[in-house]
Amino acid sequence: MAHGVGWVADVRHDRDAGFVCPFCDAALAPATVDAGACSSCHRALEVCERYRLREVLGRGGMARVYLGEDRDGRRVAVKVLGLRRESAADDGDDDGWATWEMFERSSRVLSGLQHPNLPRVFAFAREADRLVLVRELFDGGTLAERIAAGRRLEAAAMHRLADTMLQLLAYLHGLVPPVIHRDIKPANIMFRTMADWDPVLVDFDTVAAPEGLRSGLTIVASLGYSAPEQLAGEASPASDLYELGATLLHLATGTPPEKLPRRHGRFELDGALDELDPALRQVLTRLVEPDPDERYGHADGALADLRHEPAVREAPASPPSLSKSAESRRPSLRTVLTIAAVLVFFGLIIFLFARGESSHIKSERRDCDSRVARACWRLGTHYENGKGVTRDLPRSVRLYRKACELGYGLGCAFLADMLSWGKGTLVDAQGSTAAYLKACKIGHLRSCAAACWRVKEGTGTSADPLRARTLCERGCNGGDSYSCNNLALFYKHGVTVARDLSRAERLFDLACRKKDGAACHNLAEMVRQRNPSRARALDRQGCKLKNAAACTAVKNGR
C-alpha cells in the first residue's frame, strides 16, 4: 500500500520541534535560524532563491513542511523532500525512490493545474538531493478536524460543498489524460480560513501516473473511503467519485464510513440522510455504489443530477402601466432608429469578420481531417489561443499530437511545450522529452536545444551526456543559437569532451551574435576578469535580449 507524505500530518503538535536544516538535516539553534544560514553546511535557509524558511510546521517520512516567507512578506508552506541516495541503494529498498517519484510527479501535476479549489503553487524545484514545493498556506484546517469538532452543515451548505467538489473533479477528470487523485478523504480537504466552507483538495502525492507510464502494481487505499477496485490496484475517475461520496457520508452522518453498516458491500443508511435534499441524497447514494458500473463514470453526470430542479411555472405578470412622467422619458423614434442603424452596421461588420474567420478554420479542419500536418498544427494554435474559436487547451494538445504523428516538427515542438508545462494536459516529462527528440530528428533545430538539455539532466529519460552533446551539435551546426549556447557549456565544463575554454567562448560569441541573451551573459562571465568593459557591454546586450541574469549583472554594476 503506497502512502504519500501529507501536508497536514503532525502540523499542530509539531510546532515546538526544533528547526532542522532542509539541506543537511542538522539541528539548528533559534539564533542560527534568525541569522538565516545553517551553521553546519553554511547554506542560506532559503529555497528557490526567494523563500526564507522560518520554522518547521510538520514532518512525515522523508519530508518536512516549513513555514516560509517570500520577499514581499507573504507566508507560504514549503515542503522539502530529501532522499539519502546511498542508503537507498545499499538497502535495496525502493520505497524511498517510490516516494520521491510520487512527490515529483504530484508536484509537477499541481504546478500545471489552475482551479480555485486547488492549492496555488508558487514554485517547484530540485535542489541537489532535495525536492522543494512552495504553495499557499492554509489557516482553516481540514474537514477531518471540523468533523471531529462536531461541526455540521445545514442541507443547503452540504449541497453547495458537494457541488463544488464535483465541479473540481469534473475539471481534473476532463484533462488529457485525466488526473485521478486516489485519496480523497476529510484529511485531504482543507479550507483557506476558519470561517469559510469553500474546500481545497490537497495532497496529490498519490495521483495516478498516466496509462502507459505505470510500472508495477501500486495500491493506494484509505480505510472506509477507497473504492473496492482500488484494493486491486485499479483506479479511474469513478474511484475518486466513490471517495468523495464516502467523505460526504462521513460529513452528513458524523460517523466514519468504515463504521457505517454495510450489506454486500453497500452502505445501509436507513434514514441517516433524510435531512439532505432529495437530489443530493440520490446522488450520494449512487456515488458510493460498490460496483463501478453502477456508479457515476464522470463527475458531469453527478453534477447534472445534483442540479436538477423541476421547472416552476408562474402566471405571466400583467405589464405595469406607465405614468405620464415615465412616458415623457421614452426615447424619440428618431433616436431609436439611429441606435438601431448603428447596431445593425456594427453587427454586420462583426458577422462578416466572424464568417471569414470561421470559413478559414473550417478549411483547416478539413485539411487536418485529410491528414495535412501543417493544418492540424495551425488549428491547434487557434484552440490554444482562442483565436476564432472557443479556447480549448485539451483539444489543442490532441491536434499538436496529430501533427507530430504526421511528421510535422512544429507540431512535435508545440506538443512538447504543452506536456512540459501541463497546459491542457497532465505534466508528462517523458512524453515531452520524446516529442522534443522527435522534433529535433525531423529538423526543428530549436527543439534540439531543449532535447539536449533534458537528456543531459535526465528529465523524462535516462541521463546521457554524450547523446545530449550530439543533439546540441546537431542544432548548433544547423544554426540554432540555443543549441550553440548549450554546446558551449559542454566545452566550458569538460562534459564528455576535453575542457576547451577557447572553443566555449567562440560558441558563446556565435550564439550571442544570433541574439541569445543567455549566451551573451555566459560569455560575459568568462571574460569578466580580463576584460571588464567587454563583459559589461555583453551583459547590457544580454539584458536587452531579456536575460534575467544579465539584467541582474547590469543592475549590480558588475
Q: Which three cell numbers stand for residue 187?
A: 484529511
Counting residues of the chain whose pLDDT is more than 70, the rounded percentage is: 82
Q: Quick check: helix, strand or coil at residue 397?
A: helix
Q: For residue range 424-456, list pLDDT tens digits in order.
A: 888 888 999 999 999 999 999 999 999 999 999
Task: List the end-to-end C-alpha distance of the chain, in Å, as a whole number.
Answer: 55
Q: Structure pTM?
A: 0.54
Given a cut of 60, is residue 321 above it in pLDDT?
no
Tell how strand 189-191 and strand 51-60 pair up: unpaired
Residue 8's pLDDT band (boundaries 50, 70, 90)? very low
Please, what is the average pLDDT of the chain?
83
Give me the pLDDT at residue 79, please.
Answer: 92
- pLDDT bin (cut points 50, 70, 90) of residue 76 is very high
**Which distant-in-sequence residues (6+ apart) come within 8 Å of 548 by Cβ?**
none
pLDDT in the model for residue 455: 94
- Using one digit for the tens of pLDDT, what is the confidence trace for 216-254? 444 455 788 999 988 777 888 999 999 999 999 999 999
The tally of CA atoms less than 13 A away on the side-chain side of residue 5 is: 29
Residue that the C-alpha cell 503553487 belongs to: 121
- pLDDT (0 to 100) of residue 213: 40
Give 475 or 17, the one with higher predicted confidence.
475
For residue 505, pLDDT beyond 80: yes
Taking each helix axis as running N to C, give the angle between helix 548-555 and helix 517-527, from 0 to 180 degrees, rounded to the nearest 10.
Answer: 50
**Structural domains of the chain, ranges and CATH numbers in brackets:** 12-136 (3.30.200.20), 143-306 (1.10.510.10), 334-443 (1.25.40.10)
In percent, the amount of the chain with pLDDT more than 90 equals 54
pLDDT of residue 500: 94
C-alpha–C-alpha distance, residues 22 and 80, integer Å = 7
DSSP 50-68: TEEEEEEEEEETTEEEEEE
Q: Taking the CA atoms of 402, 406, 409 and 412 in sequence, report the sign of the dihedral they define.
A: positive
CB–CB of 76/53 below 8 Å? no
pLDDT value for 126: 82
The x, y and z cell numbers of residue 544, run together, are 536587452
Encode pLDDT of 106-142 as tens digits: 888 888 888 999 999 998 888 767 899 999 998 899 9
Residue-wise pLDDT for 280-307, tens only, equals 999 999 999 999 989 998 999 999 999 9
Provide the pLDDT for residue 3.
35
Alpha carbons 221 and 226: distance in angstroms, whole number:
5
**Residue 472 to residue 481: CA distance in whole angstroms:** 10
- The per-residue pLDDT for 320 is 37
> What is the band of 356 on the pLDDT scale with cuts at 50, 70, 90?
very low
Q: pLDDT at position 274, please?
A: 86
3-state helix, strand, coil in the chain (%, to 5): 50, 10, 40
Residue 96 banded pLDDT, cuts 50, 70, 90? low
pLDDT of amino acid 537: 95
Please check whether residue 257 is in contact with residue 249, taking contact to mean a CB–CB distance below 8 angstroms.
yes
Q: Does the pLDDT at position 557 exceed 90?
A: no
